[in-house]
Structure 1
């Protein structure tokens, strides 16, 4: 049992064998825990961006751009990556600001308010990742089928509705997997923030 759990148990049960802590002390501990959680959200998003950049540097060679140009998506790919980096960078900046605001919170009201805002921003970030990934994958899927002769010639007798339907199913499966990964990365931290929020709500200063 960590220190915060000890405080929570004492606050709820007031057992004789546990040390007595005042509400202010519990608030300070919740502030510290919440700040640490948001710091990890910021760190994970930064690692995620760095990993994405590294993968692009390693795999986006001349052959990659040649293949992308073949399916007429070279310009679109450049635009997609630029927009993606800008939006992801903006979210990282917001995460850092959330961390600073939570660390500087001087009351339970401000801390609760910033916890809710942080949870909302993280959810928006996950939605953005899933939506942008789905749109990008579908775009590449359709253009690859349409502009790759070896593939398009073999699909002449197949309904495009069937082909797109199969693609949608595959993309949805990939997005479901991606959602699971993000739920693991951020979901646990968001649940901890929510628990801290509920504890703060029960405090009366």
Structure 2
């Protein structure tokens, strides 16, 4: 039994004797727990962005050269700028959600802020998963539209692909990209499910407890 459950039990036992004080204590505990959860959402989102930035910096030089030579780099730069602007907006929203919860002074306001935070996280997850899928689809379509040039560039530095007839090259490459894309999206979904899913469940629990207090 955690600290909140102990407070609830104590409140229920003595609510006739000390109703106002007990109610206030439980509210403060829920406020503290909710603020901590939202702070972790903010911190984890920053860590996630740093992880993807570092991962991008570790991209092999051969891959960077391929993207540059086929003319995809300038397009990806625009996508990256747009992406990080959107991510910056989400980070600001996460920060504001955290600060708003810290200064909350009523049960209804706290409930409203919890709902707002849950919606922000859900939109953040949807954006990242959908955005990743759309970028992967776009890159595959771009490669298909430039498959002759792509074959020429890749076959020069890869004996395995060079041994393939041109007509078999793109199906093999497409299947490879498809598998990588599915694995990447599955990884993101599992990661979000584990990290953000747990935090959102805790926020939902706090919201439910606040609803009971309002009854």
Return the TM-score normalized by structure 2.
0.79
- Selected match of 1:148 from 147, 150, 156: 150
Q: Do the aligned partners of residues 56 and 175 (structure 1) sit closer, same or farther apart at CA in structure 2, a change above 3 Å counting?
A: closer
TM-fit CA distance, 1:170? 5.5
Corresponding position of 2:82: 83
TM-fit CA distance, 1:178? 1.4
CA distance in 2: counterparts of 1:46 and 1:82, whole angstroms: 17
Corresponding position of 2:208: 198
TM-fit CA distance, 1:202? 0.7
1:1-205 correspondence runs (5 A): 1-11=1-11, 14=13, 22-59=22-59, 61=61, 63-145=62-144, 146=147, 147-149=149-151, 150=155, 154=165, 156=167, 171-204=181-214
CA distance in 1: counterparts of 2:49 and 2:180, whole angstroms: 25
Question: Deviations for 1:36-66, whole angstroms, at most 9, x for unmatched residues?
Answer: 00000000001111222222333375x4432
The answer to whether the 8 A contact 1:102-1:111 is kept is yes
SS in structure 1 at match of 2:58: helix
Question: Deviations for 1:18-49, whole angstroms, at most 9, x for unmatched residues?
Answer: x9961111001000000000000000001111
Q: Do the aligned partners of residues 157 and 49 (structure 1) sit closer, same or farther apart at CA in structure 2, a change above 3 Å counting?
A: closer
Structure possessing the higher relative contact order (Cα contacts under 8 Å, 6 or more residues apart): 1
Further displaced range: 182-191 or 46-55: 46-55
SS in structure 2 at match of 1:156: helix
Q: Do the aligned partners of residues 138 and 109 (structure 1) sit closer, same or farther apart at CA in structure 2, a change above 3 Å counting?
A: same
**Residue-pair matches, total:** 199
User: Once superposed, which parts of structure 1, at least 4 consecutive aligned residues long, lie more than 4 Å away?
Assistant: 157-160, 162-170
SS in structure 1 at match of 2:165: helix
TM-fit CA distance, 1:168? 5.0
CA distance in 2: counterparts of 1:53 and 1:3, whole angstroms: 39
Return the TM-score normalized by structure 1.
0.83
TM-fit CA distance, 1:124? 0.2
Q: Flag structure 2 segments of 5+ consecutive residues without an equivalent.
A: 156-160
Corresponding position of 2:158: none
